[in-house]
Amino acid sequence: MGLSDVLAWWGAGWRVKVIAIIEYSICQQESDKYIIEQMALCQLMLIHFIEGGGFSGNIYIIDCEKPIMIDTGWDADLTFTGPQIDKALEGKKLDKIILTHRHVDHIGGALVIQEKFGGTMYAQKMEAEALRAGDNISTGGRTFGTKVVPMDVNDLEDNEIIDLEGGQILKVMVTPGHTIGSICLLSDDGNLFSGDTVFTQGGVGRWDFPTGDYDMLLESIERLAELSVKSLYPGHGMPAENIGLEHIRLGLRYLKEMGRHG
């Protein structure tokens, strides 16, 4: 298999960013001449995107040594998402399920996905407390006619580092505003998973739900706008690859223009 074949195989069908570092050395020993080709592919991050249907949030799977899912969407019926998750995992089990916040459109599928695909669940402490308690009000369960049952969710802290193995990490950033314990996740190569804090095309999360707060949201997005973000993977809508920071700053500008009563 040649270099072009490897790269085609590696990138086919996926959202893949690959740096290829190629070293060639030619050795000659008496009458035998041979070429040693040493090729190293440094995988920055393989991200599988499952778009949320209707009101459901997006699902992201990071394909690494220990696969991680970010948010689980609304639907506890895996008819639509199940085959896509199967395809992304290729027979592997999830190591972690990270929930960006407590709302039902992001956690509704958590238990059934965990049962089928594995994974220990995590969320920021205050969000985790609400999910462990089966809080049907602040999660939006009652509002949208869904019953949120208690689930076993572990706590995450601000600035906590999640080791994806293989040289990859995610940094937890607590970004309150949409909910009191909303988080974003930033990879070391500039991928930001923003939940419902900020979206592409200038969109931002609502702050009029229980535990939401305009000033907190503004401060959180100001913090994000100072980061070295390359690509933005939001909780709803399409991702923005390579121009993520521009979308965050557009959202910040719109939020300031709208004001707290916008």
Which pLDDT value is given to residue 44? 66
Which pLDDT value is given to residue 188? 92
Kindly report which listed range (2-11, 94-103, 132-141, 156-165) carries the lowest average pLDDT score. Answer: 2-11
Q: How far apart are CA 225 and CA 252, in angstroms?
A: 8
Q: How far apart are CA 233 and CA 241, in angstroms?
A: 8
Q: Band of the pLDDT at 261, cuts 50, 70, 90?
A: confident
Which pLDDT value is given to residue 24? 26
**Does pLDDT of 45 surpass 50?**
yes
How remote is the C-alpha of 262 from its chain's centroid?
28
**Does pLDDT of 104 surpass 60?**
yes
**Does pLDDT of 246 surpass 80?**
yes
Token duo for residue 126: 């205050």
Which pLDDT value is given to residue 33? 27
Q: How far apart are CA 88 and CA 113, in angstroms?
A: 13
H helix intervals, 24-165: 81-89, 104-107, 110-117, 125-132
Domains, the chain, in order of start with CATH, read 3-258 (3.60.15.10)
Average pLDDT over residues 176-202: 97
CA distances from 57 to 16, 28, 142, 226, 261 (A): 22, 58, 18, 25, 25
CA distances from 13 to 68, 83, 114, 126, 255 (A): 19, 15, 25, 37, 36
**Does pLDDT of 9 surpass 80?**
no
**Does pLDDT of 34 surpass 50?**
no
Average pLDDT over residues 171-191: 97
Which pLDDT value is given to residue 224? 98
Average pLDDT over residues 40-47: 60
Which pLDDT value is given to residue 128? 98
Tokens 């972690």, located at residue = 96
Q: Band of the pLDDT at 30, cuts 50, 70, 90?
A: very low
Average pLDDT over residues 229-246: 97
User: What is the number of helices (H) and of strands (E) in the chain?
Assistant: 7, 12
Q: How far apart are CA 123 and CA 158, in angstroms?
A: 11
pTM of the model: 0.83
Average pLDDT over residues 7-22: 32
